[in-house]
Amino acid sequence: MTVRILLADDDASLRRVLQFKLERQGFAVTAAGDGAEALDRLTRERFDLLLSDIRMPRLSGIELLERVRGVQPDLEVIFISAHAEVAQAVQAVKLGAFDYLTKPFEDEQLFVAIDKALEHRRLAEENRLLRGRLRGRDVMRKLVGVSRPFREMMALVEKIAPTDATVLIAGESGTGKEMIARAIHYGSHRADRELVVVNCAAIPRDLIESELFGHVRGAFTGAVRDKRGKFELADRGTLFLDEIAELSIDLQAKLLRAIQEKTIEPVGAEKPVEMDVRLIAATNVDLKERAARGRFREDLYYRLNVIPLRVPSLRERREDIPILVKEFARAFAPSAPLAVDAELMARLAAYAWPGNIRELENLIERMAILRRGEVLTTADLPPDFGRDVGPAEARPAAGDPEPERTLPETEKQLIIKALTRTGGNRSRAALQLGIPRHVLVYRMKKYGLHGPDA
């Protein structure tokens, strides 16, 4: 790939000579007559290197460097200075410039400085890629499960991750939608770039446009400097918009335009800025139904819903509960192995989990901190556990009075119902209850349920 250099110098003759020499070396060179023109180029195009004079009209080299860090923070910068400007050049290096050359300089000095700057950029890219891969492995280690819904979801994640397709993740609160977005990002060719996460419900409505698209200095009261938005921060990476349904209709229109045209317009800016961003959105509501009622733009819904991905609730993947419990127990008690007894595991497997994985994780953390021994038991459960929401089969029908049952009686009735539905088949009954077969056998013995007609 051809290296792109932006050359900024107000000396037209020197600019032409340098451009000719650099292009003869195989570089693609774009020339700018001063710092302001160079900054305008940088806001609309991507470059690998900036070669700039220090003293220029409208915007000096030092001022350009400060503005560059807000536009292309990974851009390497080499300054050209006169002898009287050496002190300024040294200051520029302290501010983040890679190197400086003092006039007059030999061609070889220029080419060596450029080669070193590009090598530094290459090593930084390799470090980013390595960090991305390590973060990806850490994410994948946390995604565990054996249930069919989980395996089907992960198969889809592996298929779509290497692409640039827009993904709409749906699922209840607490199911791990952000974790799935991270798995998609770190499984892609963008893994060495940023994954920028935005919770659309957590940002005040009058600030979210600036947060997403950025603003220029003076765009509104309090805008004392340029600010890069989340789209710019995610350039060449991934932008994850959680709770996308909370965006206002007018902002939905601007988001649609950004997706369609691959450009954004910072608040107060005169020209659009090109962006290369993969978009992943998430919601815990039915966006299609909202679009039908006019509460969400239908055209934006179809733009987002290129690849729909649904994260199953914990109730749908009860087989994974023992695995998740053990994983959380290990994470929250790393210094000593923490076991979980069968009775507690059965209680956890039978619970409805309205808060899904987040609720389970918080519960295990609390129990691990306040535990009475090295084995978690039902005695370690909070007193209010299961009081508000119980197993789905244990809930009374609408309009029926709440039955006066103890928890063991409710558990026993659940087992009897499952055995009745499966004709006494313990394996199928255990599958319906979402618990391992050996746990079911243990509970049957406890409640005196034996034989085919138990």
What is the DSSP secondary structure assignment for residue 84, as one 8-state letter? G
Distance of alpha carbon 383 from alpha carbon 77, whole angstroms: 62
* CA proximity to 71, closest of 342, 271, 336, 310: 271
Question: 3-state class of 169 per DSSP?
Answer: strand
pLDDT at 283 exceeding the cut of 90? yes
Residues facing residue 32 across a β-bridge: 8
Burial of 38-53, coded b for 16+ CB within 10 Å and e otherwise, reads: bbebbbeeebbbbbbb
Q: What is the pLDDT of residues 144-183, one digit of tens each?
A: 999 999 999 999 999 999 999 999 999 999 999 999 999 9
Work out the pLDDT band at 77, boundaries 50, 70, 90.
very high
Distance of alpha carbon 260 from alpha carbon 358, whole angstroms: 35
Distance of alpha carbon 32 from alpha carbon 19, whole angstroms: 11
Q: What is the pLDDT of residue 95?
A: 79
Q: What is the mean pLDDT of residues 38-63?
A: 87
Is the pTM value of this prediction over 0.75?
A: no
Q: Are 143-310 and 316-446 in the same CATH fold?
A: no
Q: What is the mean pLDDT of residues 96-102?
A: 86
Percent of the chain with pLDDT over 90: 45
* For the chain, domain boundaries: 4-124, 143-310, 316-446
Candidate CATH numbers 3.40.50.970, 3.40.50.1820, 3.40.109.40, 3.40.50.300; the one for domain 143-310: 3.40.50.300
* Cβ–Cβ under 8 Å, residues 314 and 353: yes
Q: What is the pLDDT of residues 235-259, one digit of tens each?
A: 989 999 999 999 999 999 999 999 9
The CATH fold assigned to 4-124 is Rossmann fold (3.40.50)
Q: What is the pLDDT of residue 156?
A: 96
CB neighbours of residue 211 within 10 Å: 17
| CATH architecture for the domain at 316-446 | Orthogonal Bundle (1.10)
Q: What is the pLDDT of residue 403?
A: 47
CB neighbours of residue 132 within 10 Å: 21
pLDDT at 390 exceeding the cut of 80? no
What spatial distance separates the first Cα and last Cα of the chain, rounded to whole Å? 73
Q: What is the pLDDT of residue 84?
A: 59
Distance of alpha carbon 241 from alpha carbon 252, whole angstroms: 12
Q: What is the pLDDT of residue 407?
A: 67
* Cβ–Cβ under 8 Å, residues 53 and 8: yes
Mean pLDDT is lowest, of 119-123, 141-145, 276-280, 442-446, for 442-446
Q: What is the pLDDT of residue 83?
A: 65
Which amino acid appears at position 212 of this protein? L
Mean pLDDT is lowest, of 12-26, 39-53, 284-298, for 39-53
**Looking at per-residue confidence, does 166 or 389 come out higher?**
166
What is the DSSP secondary structure assignment for residue 181, as one 8-state letter? H
* Long-range contacts, 35-39 (Cβ 8 Å, 24+): 35/8, 35/59, 35/60, 35/61, 35/63, 35/64, 37/8, 38/6, 38/8, 38/64, 39/64, 39/67, 39/68, 39/71
In degrees rounded to 5, what are phi and psi of residue 223?
-85, 80
In degrees rounded to 5, what are phi and psi of residue 277?
-130, 135
* Cβ–Cβ under 8 Å, residues 269 and 217: no
- DSSP β-ladder status, 167-170 and 195-199: unpaired
Work out the pLDDT band at 450, boundaries 50, 70, 90.
low
pLDDT at 277 exceeding the cut of 70? yes
* CA proximity to 40, closest of 3, 72, 80: 72
* Cβ–Cβ under 8 Å, residues 304 and 165: no
Q: What is the pLDDT of residue 297?
A: 95
Cis check for the bond before 104: say yes or no (omega within 30 of 0).
yes
Rg of the chain, C-alpha, whole Å: 30
Q: What is the pLDDT of residue 322?
A: 93
* Long-range contacts, 9-12 (Cβ 8 Å, 24+): 9/33, 9/52, 9/53, 9/56, 9/80, 10/34, 10/53, 10/56, 10/57, 11/53
203: its two tokens: 């940002």
